[in-house]
Structure 1
Amino acid sequence: MTGPSLTVLAPILVLIAACAVDAWVYADAKEHLRRGHPAVFTFGPVRIATPEAWFLGCLIMWAVFFPLYLTVTGRNPFR
Structure 2
Amino acid sequence: MILALWRALFQATAIGLGTFGLIVGMELLLTQRVAGLSLYIITSLAVAGLVFVIRLCTLLRLSGHLGHRKTSPQNKTHH
Pick the TM interval, shorter chain: 0.3 to 0.5
Q: TM-score by structure 2 length? A: 0.48
State TM-score, norm by structure 1: 0.48
Q: Which has the larger radius of gyration?
A: 2
Higher helix content, 1 or 2: 2
